[in-house]
Amino acid sequence: MKKVKLYQQGDVLIFTAAEIPADVKPVKASERGFVLAEGEATGHAHTIDTIDLCELFQDNANNLWLEVKTEEGVTVRHQEHKHVTLPKGKYKIGIVREVDPFAEEIRKVQD
Q: pLDDT for 27-72, tens place per residue?
A: 999 999 999 998 776 778 999 999 999 999 999 999 999 999 999 9
96 CB burial (10 A radius; 0-12, 13-18, 19+)? middle
For 102, phi then psi, to 5°, come to -75, -35
In percent, the amount of the chain with pLDDT more than 70 equals 84
Listed in sequence order, the DSSP H helices in the chain are none
Q: Is the Cβ–Cβ distance between 8 and 34 less than 8 Å? A: no
Q: Which amino acid is at 102?
A: F
Q: Domain ranges for the chain, please list them.
A: 6-108
The per-residue pLDDT for 61 is: 93
Q: pLDDT for 51-62, tens place per residue?
A: 999 999 999 999
